[in-house]
Each structure stands twice: as C-alpha cells, then as structure tokens.
Amino acid sequence: MKKLLSLLLLITLTSQAQINRVEPPFWWTGMKNTRLELMVYGQNINAYQVKINGGGVLLNKIIKTENPNYLFLDLDLSKAKAGTFNLVFTNANLKELHFSYELKTRDPHSAQRKSYDNSDVIYLLMPDRFANGNPANDAASAMTEKPNRPFDGGRHGGDIQGIINNLDYIKELGATAIWSTPLLEANLPSYSYHGYALTDTYKIDPRYGSNDDYKNLATQAHQKGLKLVLDYVTNHWGSAHWMLKDLPSKDWIHQFPQFQRSNYRMTTQFDSYASKIDGHLCMDGWFDTTMPDLNQGNPLLLKYLIQNALWWIEYANLDGFRVDTYSYNDKTGIAQWTKAITDEYPNFNIAGEVWMHQQSQIAYWQKDSKLAAIQNYNSHLPAVMDFTLHDAITQVFNEDYDSWNGGMIRVYDNFTNDYLYPNPYNMFVFAENHDTQRINEIYKSDFNKYQLVMSLIATVRGIPQIYYGSEIGMLGNKEAKGDGDIRRDFPGGWNGDANNAFLASGRTADQQKWFDFTKKLLNWRKQNSAVQTGKFKHYIPQNNVYVYFRFNKSKTVMVVLNNSPKEQTIDLARFAENIEHFTKGTDILSGEFFDFAKASIMIKAKTPLIIELQ
C-alpha cells in the first residue's frame, strides 16, 4: 500500500512539472571553456530524467539540489555544432517535456577583443538620471515602482534610448568609454533606480528598454569610437530576485537567524589576526536589507555568475567591466570568477571597487600582488580604483598653503606608494563617482579649482574616470540631502527642461565655460600618447606647487599645478633631468608660450599649466 501511495504521489508531482526557465537562454560554440552549466527551472523538474538529441552535445552530469524545482545540466560542448539541439525530459510515467536550445556561432575575433585601458577616459553615468529617450517605457506594467520624478529617490525615467540619443555629446566632450551603472532588472517597490539590487540577471529592466536596446547601445557606441563598460554585481542580488523566492539550495545565499548587516571591515579579508566571526560578518553579512549576500563558495552559484558575465560580454559585445563591492565577496570565489573571464578574454579589463583608504590595502586586490602572494592569494583582478587619490583630491585644493603633510604633498605622497601596486597604470583615477560628494559641491563651484582637479585627473598615470554633469558644473550635496542629490537629472534630458545642456545652444554661460574647458582638456589627451601611456616623474611640491612630467620617446609634457593663492615663480633648473634639450613649450589650456632658455616661468594663483615641450 505504501509503495502504491508513493507511486501515486510521484505521478501526481511529475505530472505538474513544467519548464519555466532555462539559463543561459542560449550559448555559443567556439568558447575556450567548452563546459556549460545549464540551469533548468520548473515545478518538480528534478523528478525527470534528461537526454540530449542532436548538435554534438554531450550530457556529462545531472546535478540536483535540495529544491525539486531545479536541475543543473553539465554539458560538454567540445564537439558541439552551431544550431539547435533538443533537451528531452522524461518522468517515471513516461511523460515527456521538450526544450529546444540554441548554440550560436561565435565571432572569431571575440576572444581577442580590445578592452578599455589608460588611453581612455571613462564617462560614468546613471541611466535613470541621464536622459529620457523613450517616455513610453517609464511605467512598465510588470514593474512595481512607477515613475516619480519630483522625488529624488524615485524613478525619473532615464533610459537606454536617452544614452543613445546623446552619444555625440559624450564623444564631443572627449570621453572614449561609457560606464553605466547597472541596467538589469531591479524590480523593487522603492529606491530601485540605482540598479544594484538585481532581480533578473539576464534581462534589461524594461524601464530602460530591452536586451536588444542594450545591444544596440553597444553597436551605436562602437560606431562612434566609444567603448561600453558594464557595471557587474557579484556580491549580492535584490531581495525580490526570482531565484531568491525559491532558492536552489539554502546555501545559495548567506543566511542568519535574523537580518545581519555586513560590518564592512574589508581588512578582515587579509588581517592575519582577524577573528573568524569578524571575517564572517564582513564577507557574509548583507550589504543592505534589500540585498541578500550571495555565496560564491557554492560552486553552482559561482558557475552561474561566471556564465552570466560571459553571456553579457558575448551577447552585447562589451568592452569591459567595473565590479561593484569587489572586496566583499568570498575572496576565493571572486578570484575564480575573475580568472574565468580573463581566461576567456585575455585582453578584457575588469576594475574592482575596493573602497579602502590605504594603498597597501587596495593593492592587495590587484592581479599578481606581491602583498597578497604572501598569503598565497591572487585575485586575478586587472584594475583597481584609486580611492586614496580620490581622498586627497577632495580636500587638497581647499588647502592654500603647504605643510609637512598638507597641501599638494597629499597628492605627491599618493604616488610615492605606487611601488605597492603590480600595475599602477591600470587604475581608475577619479575625483568623484555616484557614491561620493560631487566635486563642484566640495569646491563651491570654484572654476579654478575645477580646472586643477581635472588637469590632475587627465594627466597622471592611470585611467581617468569622470562623473556625468560635472563637466557643466553640476552640484549635489550627499551629506546634506543624500544620494539622490548627487544623482541629479542631466538638464535637457527630459522634455520641458528649462535648458538643454547637451547642446551648445542650450547651455548657460557657466555651463558652457565648464564644458569648453573639459572638452579642450579631454580631446587633447585623446591625441597625446605621453599622458596616456608615457612614464611618470614628479618633484616634491614647493610653495604648494606640484610639478610632474609624462614622457615617452616622442613626446614630453610638463604639468604644473599651482595650488597656492599667490602667483609663483618656477625655477626651471630644478627640472633639468626632464626638460633636457627642450627649449620651449606651449600650455595646451591657454595657448601661452614659454621660453625655456630663461631661468624661470611664472604661474598664476590656483592655476594649472599643461605644457607640451618642444
């Protein structure tokens, strides 16, 4: 009788089975890694046996989890052919389910794609706040949060079409790559606009557009000579992610008896004396109440994240990643994730957000770090973000006079620690981003200080990253008004805006002044190999004046940043080892000519000089 009841129960359960999702939704032949982990989701799907018909695809293994609604199929594609093959699911009652899966032909040049590097300038934008190119998608029916533009924490309607419409603006400015904060679905009831609480990792949020729209953005950008960088989130998903509503296994995320926020103490990842509980709470605690922490130690989840990243690179023809909260991940798992991507795409650049305040702590996370090697660790992460330079920039230009550790010595000292980095030239250098106080707010719209900031960012080693709107003087006070205020709408991105700063005819006089300076600086940088990839040599600041050189075999550039409120005289003899045989130079900002046969040059108060030597 028990056997009969069990059989009836099995028949009842399996008769209800259906296939709701298969991920990745399609794949490619010709990938270096020929193993594919196919996730199949459907009610009671693990009661089915699976076989494959056609395509040269081999089923290596079927992996079941504690949740009967999941199957993970380990496929061998080493002999697979492009086209479709059939997955046949059969239950004990001989009921069959069929699913046709597509393998596409990979672009033969895909693996060797060129990524962003120190020849680029990255333009960071938040799509919800940049431009609303398609008002019809503002209130997507399936999305819980509807548009509320008057609320600075609400959805404002910016979208992919808005970015496409203004690619010429970004190109004219002189940027060469676009980093957009996440565009994937984030279907939360409130504060979803920032995009870091994903609810579907294979779907563009319909309020931004479609997957095809994102692919078109990459195509349109490439046609204009612009690269596209995806902001990838490995550490957490949004609490409304479809998979988190029906977990494949309990250890898919880190769970606690009650909500446990991360202690955010990333030093526990390498601290030799850290207690286990402190390290556990840093790495496994949730970043926020709506952001459950993913367990990269789970091999099925890790493979899922790797394949999702590869899928977006291949599908959208992407040029690089920036990875959110990189150092909060399981350090072993995130290293495997990063290596899997760079193994598939050897030239692909990935910059990790390691928001720390000491160079040694940031350097630990860069690929081939000798500091990490002491602990037998290698993150395989090509690029990191120079947060210590950011820290210096946010205060140094309000310090009119130098001291032992104040004024321009802050910037100088930052670079003296570059020996800690395996590759200091592969770092984001920035004054601000979507999480920090706006630089024009810090410096109270002082145009001279803005020029000093941007001249520094554009000419030191590394990859300059600028934040949308600062090039027209945009303000925003995070400390007083929160994140929404530093993520204001770009003027002209919405019908009915008072002025359209995307066009010269629509800018105010002040906006035009900021824009013209930034455009001149960045477009000059685009053509100057010395500041892109040349060597770097600097001199100890004197009288709050910092002088450094960028040079290669064909070009030399002398940068002078006078942070003093007084005009300064620069003795040229001190810089003879870099000036060498050069007899003259021209400041690319003002056009002023300098005769190096003279003993000195003058520089105005709070002014940069960027001198091309001749």
CA distances from 605 to 449, 584, 609 (A): 10, 22, 11
**Phi, psi (rounded to 5 degrees) for 129:** -115, 5
Active site residue 324: yes
What is the rounded CA–CA span in Å between residue 315 and residue 319? 12
Q: Which CATH superfamily is domain 119-185+204-230+434-527 in?
A: Glycosidases (3.20.20.80)
Report residue 16's pLDDT band, with 50, 70 and 90 as the boundaries. Answer: low
Domain 536-613 has CATH 3.30.70.2860: no
Residues with Cβ within 8 Å of 16's Cβ and at least 6 positions away in sequence, in order, are 43, 44
Beta-carbon count within 10 A of 96 CB: 10
What is the rounded CA–CA span in Å between residue 296 and residue 334? 7
0.85 cut: is pTM over it? yes
Written as one string, the DSSP assignment of 265-290 is -GGGGT-TT--HHHHHHHHHSBSBTT
- Domain limits, CATH 2.60.40.10, in the chain: 2-106
- Domain limits, CATH 2.60.40.1180, in the chain: 536-613
**pLDDT attached to residue 8:** 40
Average pLDDT of the residues in 393-410: 96
Cβ(282)–Cβ(269) below 8 Å: yes
E strand or H helix at 456: helix 447-459
> Tokens 């697979």, residue?
80
The correct CATH number of 2-106 out of 2.40.30.20, 2.60.120.260, 2.30.30.40, 2.60.40.10 is 2.60.40.10
Structure tokens at 305: 């994240």
Return the exposure string of 474-492: e unless at least 16 CB atoms fall within 10 Å of the residue's CB, then b. bbbebeeeebbbbbbbbbb
Active-site choice (138, 324, 471, 485): 324
**pLDDT attached to residue 17:** 66
Residues with Cβ within 8 Å of 280's Cβ and at least 6 positions away in sequence, in order, are none
What is the rounded CA–CA span in Å between residue 81 and residue 559? 56
pLDDT in tens, 599-610: 999 999 999 999
- Domain limits, CATH 3.20.20.80, in the chain: 119-185+204-230+434-527
First to last CA, the chain: 97
pLDDT in tens, 215-247: 999 999 999 999 999 999 999 999 999 999 999
Active site residue 251: no
What is the rounded CA–CA span in Å between residue 51 and residue 73? 10
Written as one string, the DSSP assignment of 492-543 is TSSTT-S--TTSGGG--HHHHHHHHHHHHHHHHHHT-HHHHH-EEEEEEEET
pLDDT at 12 > cutoff 60: no
Residues with Cβ within 8 Å of 530's Cβ and at least 6 positions away in sequence, in order, are 550, 551, 552, 554, 555, 556, 557
pLDDT at 14 > cutoff 70: no
Cβ(78)–Cβ(34) below 8 Å: yes
Average pLDDT of the residues in 423-451: 98
35-41 and 70-76 strand pairing: antiparallel
What is the rounded CA–CA span in Å between residue 515 and residue 267? 40
**pLDDT attached to residue 60:** 96
Average pLDDT of the residues in 99-127: 97
Structure tokens at 442: 């810090």
pLDDT in tens, 62-107: 999 999 999 999 999 999 999 999 999 999 888 899 999 999 999 9
pLDDT in tens, 253-305: 999 999 999 999 999 999 999 999 999 999 999 999 999 999 999 999 999 99
CA 326, distance to chain mean position in Å, is: 10
Active-site choice (200, 330, 353, 386): 353
Structure tokens at 16: 């209800």
